[in-house]
Structure 1
Amino acid sequence: MNRAVYAPMVAPAGATIDQVLSGRLVQPLFQPIVDLATRRVVGLEALARGPAGTGLEYPDRLFAAAREAGCLGDLDLLCSERSLELAIAAPQPPPLLFTNAEPAVLDQPLSPRLVELVSGGLPFRQVVEFTERALPAVPGSMLRIAGRTQDWGNGLALDDVGVDPMSLAFLPLIEPEVIKLDMSLLRDPGSEHTRTVCAVVRAEAERTGALVIAEGIETADDLATARLLGARWGQGWFFGRPGGIEQPHRYDMTAAGMLRPPRPGFHETTGSAYDCAAAVAAPSVATADDIAAALGRLRDVVAAHDTAVVVMSSADVGLPGVALPPAELAGPGRSVIVVDRPVPGEFAAVAVVPGGGFAVGVRGPGGAARLVTVDHLPHVAVVARALLNRHR
């Protein structure tokens, strides 16, 4: 593997986004992530910065300029490349390096340089952070990147959990190694919203082995609150502000082993959504009324949760009882994803809600339609991933 850092050129005072990209002028900063019990640093989060002293130094202006110029994807890839390069070349690489993935460009191919860096073997474990915006924006692409991340031995994090309640429904679909509580939860720990979010996160962490990080810890009181909310690790100005990779840290070199081992193939499925459901529940011959009743139960699950995520095949599959528009089936679902490449002769619909879900699968024609339903959350999530793997 080529470990060259490819140092950027010197930035002109009025650097443009084209100059940033052509000169590789991104200079990430790194913020420590700390074990709340031992105060030892378990990893660093890479934070994008443009050339210092220019109008593009800070990420809001940097990414806005890239978005306006139509090169957001190029900038996002460059930020990841530079973060990895600097961490590789550091005098002491961190045990874990957290990098962010911009949801709007997850459907682009990875750059050859990024593939070279990651596939050649890293001296740390990378954790790729998604936000809840990624799944409804580019669900198929997000799962494909999640799969490659696991194949390379790295991990996933769901970021900003608590900002949008819908993110809770995404947890079982992604099953990240790390769940990051948004700083807003620390600021209002007694609210019903915070209690609900933390209860779901705690249950998911216990079910899957995910590790919980609290963001925005600025005071000793925040630290105490973070631990009460169930966080094991944390980050914020109380532990250190973002700085250069060369800053010395008291690393816990066992940190990478504290995360769940990678699971290659977890995010991909070989069978259809119906096959995945039928693997865990026995299908039955069903009439149109039986299918309508199952879909009615799915609608009830969605109606009871204003944070439901609904994933479904196109309803135009010529099967009895499912010729209805997505809006009618999904009801008030916050995020509705209609798969653009459904399996011929099959229909599937899944509702995932915080802590639960329900899936319906129908197969025909060629005789009476067969119906299968699933309500065990891990199995519901498998059916949902099977559908999303058929979505561009």
Structure 2
Amino acid sequence: MATRTADSPTEMRAESDAAVDLVLRDRLVTPLFQPIVDLANGAVVAVEGLARGPAGSGLERPDQLFEAARLAGRLGEMDMLCSERAIECALAATVPPPVLFVNAEPAVLDQPMSPRMLELSTGYLPFRFILEYTERGLPTVPGALLNVAGAIEACGGGIALDDVGADPMSLAFLPIIEPEVIKLDMHLVHNPSAAATRETCRAVRAAARRTGAVVIAEGIETEADLRTARSLGADWGQGWLFGRPGPLECLRYPVPAGPGVTLRPPRVGLHQPAGTPFEIAAARGARQVVLRDSAIQAVTRLCESAGSEGPSVIVASCDDPGAATRLAAFLDTVSSPTTYVAVVPPTRPLHGAMTVAVVGADSADGVSVRPLAGGDGNSDHFEIAASSDLSVVVDIARVLLRRLPMSCGTVSFSAARPAGAR
């Protein structure tokens, strides 16, 4: 792809848009593949497909390719093409990889699959397909990620959460997303003695034990990095020590030196629990009838304590528009900068007066209240169901998050956001 120097910003933009159009039209993406190694036995257990644009052009580097696509308004198409090309090249390889990781762009998480991607993902694949999302996309469209995770697992694939540890808030999303793979941000390997590294790895190890997730350390470049990765609790590793990105045909699969760590099987339906928040809490938690004031006090106490013990995800619903607005404002004042806050719009009723779910890295609290069944809506008696069981509250949070608009920024009265963000 030839390039020349344009005479003005307008011409430069036109040339860039034309180059993006050519890449998309002629499918000019050639992925390179980097090995992922089991740290227990040295086996190459997976590869990650890394997109590259036309060689020698201004779009060869992935950051330039995706920025040009974004400016052209075609980021979703480019993201889909890169995923398609990674799968196509893996399918065409003489020896297909055992597992293929493909990066996905969080900004277009809610786009539908292209016909080609649908064909590839639902057809026979001789390898496990893992969609990899960076943690920076979590506060943007968490409900959409839950939907994608459910669809991918139904096809036999899985989800990887990348760059975990770069933002403390990602730790609170781990129980909700429950990915097959947790990829530690490379700065953790290079700063193993930092307090933040120790806390992140403690939370990740706990999540891995609880869910069966595989932990990958990235950025392993030296034998010292390898020792550090093992000490941090990583199962698999990725980095230049094991191989730089290159053509898949150049990859070798050495005989394992012993037993290793494998991915857990897909768990279909995990991310789409059935029932309303109240039904989930009542079926698996404590339930009682209380007066209105007691119900309000229970919700208030939970809100006041939310986010006080580290990074957390706070998701709430309220059927009354005015009360929902006040609830969103109150949660924003009592939560911390490492807290994600979202309130489901009252236009999407959940058949309960109010629900609040607070999820941390390894703890949770939830409460759901509604008028007593058979009441006229003005009754002083309410049913309240509460739980501190992580699995129960996580399911409540999943139901609420999936009810958010696909683009959280459109929630006019309570844009889902890190608390305190403006």
Compared CA separation, residues 247 and 74, structure 1 to 2 (3 A): same
CA distance in 2, matches of 1:243, 1:323: 52
Q: Distance in 2 between matches of 1:38 and 1:50?
A: 34
Could you give the per-residue CA deviations for residues 229-286 of structure 1, whole angstroms, max 9, x where no partner exists? 0001000001100011211321679999811110111111221111111120132112
The counterpart of 1:377, out of the listed 387, 390, 410, is 390
**TM-score, normalised relative to structure 1:** 0.92
Superposition deviation, residue 69 in structure 1: 0.8
Instruction: Write out per-residue CA displacement over residues 47-94 of structure 1, whole angstroms, 9 at most, x where no aligned residue.
Output: 111111000000111111011111110000001000000001111010
How many pairs were matched up?
380
**Alpha-carbon distance between aligned partners in 1 of 2:261 and 2:188, rounded to the nearest angstrom:** 28
Q: Does 1:84 align with 2:91?
A: no
Matching of residue 250 in structure 1 with residue 257 in structure 2: no
Deviations 1:30-53 (A, max 9, x none): 110001122110000111111110
Mark the runs of 5 or more structure 1 residues left unpaired by the alignment.
1-10
Say if 1:295 and 1:329, in contact at 8 Å, map to a contact too: no
Question: CA-to-partner distance for each residue in 1:153-206, whole Å, 9 max, x for gaps?
Answer: 111111101100000000000111111111100111011101100111111111
Q: 1:304 aligns with which of 308, 330, 335?
A: 308
- The structural deviation recorded for 1:370 is 0.8
Structure 2 alignment gaps of length 5 or more: 5-17, 376-380, 406-422
CA contact (8 A) 2:182 2:215 kept: yes
Distance change >3 Å, CA 380–CA 256, structure 1 → 2 = farther
How big is the shift at 1:296?
3.0
Amino acid at match of 1:181: L
Please point out which of 241, 258, 282 is paired with 1:278.
282
1:221 matches 2:224: yes
Shift, 1:380, TM fit: 1.1
Q: Is the alpha carbon distance of 1:134 and 1:23 closer, same or farther for their aligned partners in structure 2, counting shifts above 3 Å?
A: same
- Moved beyond 6 Å, runs of 4+: 252-257
Corresponding residue number in structure 2 for 1:337: 342
After TM superposition, the score normalised by the length of structure 2 is: 0.85
Indicate whether 1:69 and 2:66 are aligned: no
The correspondence of residues 1-392 of structure 1 with structure 2, limited to 5 A, is 11-13=1-3, 16-250=19-253, 258-314=262-318, 316=320, 324-330=326-332, 331-333=334-336, 334-340=339-345, 341-364=348-371, 366-367=374-375, 368-392=381-405
What's the offset of the Cα at 1:337? 1.6
- How much identity, in percent, do the aligned residues show? 52
Per-residue Cα deviation, 1:207-238 (whole angstroms, up to 9, x for no partner): 11111110000000000000000001000001
Read off the aligned partner of 2:55 and give its amino acid letter: A
Provide, for residues 83-133 of structure 1, a one-character-per-residue CA deviation record: whole Å limited to 9, x for no partner: 000001111010000111211101111111001001012110011112223
* Shift of residue 351, structure 1, vs aligned partner: 1.1
Does the CA-based 8 Å contact 1:49-1:57 persist in structure 2?
A: yes
